[in-house]
Structure 1
Amino acid sequence: MDDWIRQAELWVGQAESWIRQQPPEQIYVAAAVVAVTILVLIAASCLKSSKPNTIVLSGLSGSGKTTLFYQLRDGSSHQGTVTSMEENNDTFVLHSEQERKGKVKPVHIVDVPGHARLKPKLDEVLPKAAGVIFVVDAQDFLSSMQAAAEYLYDILTKATVVKKKVPVLIFCNKTDKVTAHSKEFIKKQLEKEINKLRESRNAISSADISDEVQLGVPGEAFNFSQCQNKVTVAEGAGSTVQIFLETKVNAVLGSPPGPVWCIHKS
């Protein structure tokens, strides 16, 4: 122990001698660098520990995203809502929890317009997402199947979504209509279309898809269970939509109640 103490005293003496030999300006700069480094590390630690609370509503135009946004916010159906060219972006307590006693956490919902020209808006919000709800029009699915698959493919291959294991809920909307397709049918068709996209896009130079992660298992037909992040398919319509989606949003954010919707807590 005495040897360790003597060695420590020697190191301290050498450090003091070196400091005395340095210009005062250099000492100040070194101290400032150390202070800034400590502050950056503390800030990074705080940001890393804070959980994102953004849920992204995505999908093609006309799928019903905006109506779902208003149902989550204030419980209204907002009949007559037209296709939006501007995103609906708001932070609020879910409608079903407004009467709940105790501490209720607000959630940030972003309804991204589905028009192709506005796709950059989706790229802006995905890195902040805790979960993604991809809305599909179950009644008009066949006519928009290819476009929906391309949109969903872009989400599932986005590096920020895959690396953070952001859960994705494919929500088949308007299933109360007689001509609506079932979630099982929609799931299978989307998997087939995405498999075609995967094969064609894998032939593209990696330099052109630097922000993409390849989907599935090489040599096997694609299915959603192969995704690195959890992908769930569900359906709903009418008054059941609001309660159903609220439980899913709560599950993603780690707030009770509600069944687990592909939760990944980082």
Structure 2
Amino acid sequence: MEQWKNEAKQWLQQGIEYAHQIPPTQLYAAATVLLLTTLFLLIVRLFKRTKSNTIVLTGLTGSGKTVLFYQLQDGSSHQGTVTSMEPNDETFILHSESSKKGKIKPVHLVDVPGHSRLRPKLDEFLPQAAGIVFVVDALEFLPNLRGVSEYLYDILTKASVVKRKVPVLICCNKTDKVTAHTKDFIRKQLEKEIEKLRVSRSGISEADVANEFTLGIPGELFTFSHCSNKVTIAESSGLTGEISQVEQFIREHVKP
């Protein structure tokens, strides 16, 4: 034991003598490089650990969110499912990927109720969302245009969405029906309605504004391309299982 202590002292002394021989500028430079490298590795590890796998499904009641949820989970439509009064909150491997080999990252999927009284639950999940799927009933779109636009406007102006630039997929559901509106028509109508909301709400005093951020570019008509976060449009049919565009969006933001 005493011998080891003596050898350790000798090594330490040699190290100190060697360090004294190195010019201070080189020593400081080496220490700086070591410190920056350590910080970089720590940041990379932290980023990997905190990368979210949460996808939030939301939209008005009756838009078909819960049917989409079950299609993604087990490939069935669960016809006859009643309107959700509590969030469906599950972590699973997408049904379409269940037979694939290799490591596949599970998705934490949350189906938030669309009833206006239950929407505050959305704020519980948005801060951890890697992406938002906003489901629109393409069949009954026009009668619900105002309500859909107001709900989407509220989401796109939330700090938890804007600051983190959370991507949003506007999912036009029930497009298997002949009388369903196309995604291009829905996009244009939503942009027009949100422009109206933007103009009307910009005239309200700041004390009365509930939204945390404003949308659009002053002097220009609103388009989704003005949003700080990426907003895309897709089509789906929960009842027939045509949900490939939704799955593609999920896997784009929750890497396998």
Relative to the length of structure 2, the TM-score reads 0.79
Aligned match of 1:90: 90
Pair 156,98 (structure 1): closer, same or farther in 2 beyond 3 Å: same
Structure 1, residues 71-102: CA drift from partner, whole Å, max 9, x if none? 00111111111111111000111111111111
Please name the residue that 1:127 is paired with.
127
| Partner residue in 2 for 1:8 | none
Q: 1:84 to 1:219 in 2, by over 3 A?
A: same
- 1:170: which partner in 2? 170
Partner of 2:255: 254
Q: Write the mapping of 1:152-191 to structure 2, written as runs, cut at 5 A.
A: 152-191=152-191
Question: Which whole-Å deviations, capped at 9, do the CAs of 1:236-260 have from their partners, x for residues lacking one?
Answer: 22435333322221111133xxxxx
Which structure ranks higher in relative contact order (CA pairs < 8 Å, sequence separation ≥ 6)?
2
The alpha-carbon distance between structure 1 residues 73 and 131, as it changes in their structure 2 partners (threshold 3 A), is same
Q: How far did 1:179 drift?
A: 1.4
- Identify the residue that residue 229 of structure 2 maps to in structure 1: 229
1:112 aligns with 2:112: yes
Letter in 1 for 2:220: E
Cα root mean square deviation, aligned: 2.3
d(CA) in 2 for partners of 1:171 and 1:70?
A: 16
SS at match of 1:239: coil
- Name 1:239's counterpart in structure 2: 240
Is 1:56 the counterpart of 2:56 in the alignment? yes
CA separation in 1, counterparts of 2:180 and 2:246?
19
Q: Deviations over 1:107-158 (max 9, x none)?
A: 1000000000011101111111000000000000011110000000011111
- In structure 2, distance between residues paired with 1:176 and 1:143: 19
Is the contact between residue 75 and residue 242 of structure 1 (CA under 8 Å) also seen in structure 2?
no
Aligned length: 220
Shift of 1:204: 2.6
**How many angstroms apart in 2 are the aligned matches of 1:211 and 1:236?**
30
Question: Which structure 1 segments of 5+ residues have no match?
Answer: 6-41, 256-266
Which amino acid counterpart does residue 148 of structure 2 have in structure 1? A
Aligned partner of 1:31 in structure 2 is none
TM-score, normalized by length of structure 1? 0.76
Distance, in Å, in 2 between the alignment partners of 1:152 and 1:44 is 34
Shift of 1:185: 0.9
Bigger shift: residues 227-236 or 109-118: 227-236
Structure 1 Cα separation of the partners of residues 147 and 173 of structure 2: 16
Kept in 1: contact 2:236–2:246 (CA 8 A): no
Q: Is the 8 A contact 2:234 2:245 kept in 1?
A: no
In structure 2, the residue matched to 1:139 is: 139
AA partner of residue 197 (structure 1): L
In 2, the alpha carbon distance for the partners of 1:249 and 1:53 equals 9
C-alpha separation between the residues in 2 aligned to 1:128 and 1:44?
19
Bigger shift: residues 164-173 or 208-217 = 208-217
The alpha-carbon deviation at position 46 of structure 1 amounts to 5.8
> CA separation in 2, counterparts of 1:124 and 1:45?
27
Mapped to 1, the partners of 2:46 and 2:207 lie a distance apart of: 31
1 CA distance for matches of 2:74 and 2:176? 22
In structure 1, the partner of 2:103 is 103
Unaligned runs of at least 5 residues, structure 2 = 1-19, 25-40
Query: Which whole-Å deviations, capped at 9, do the CAs of 1:42-95 have from their partners, x for residues lacking one?
Result: 999865442011000010000000000000011111111111111100011111
Instruction: Map 1:208-223 to 2 at 5 A.
Output: 208-209=208-209, 212-223=212-223
Structure 1 residue 209: deviation in Å? 3.9
Once the two structures are TM-superposed, the CA of residue 215 in structure 1 deviates from its matched residue by 0.6
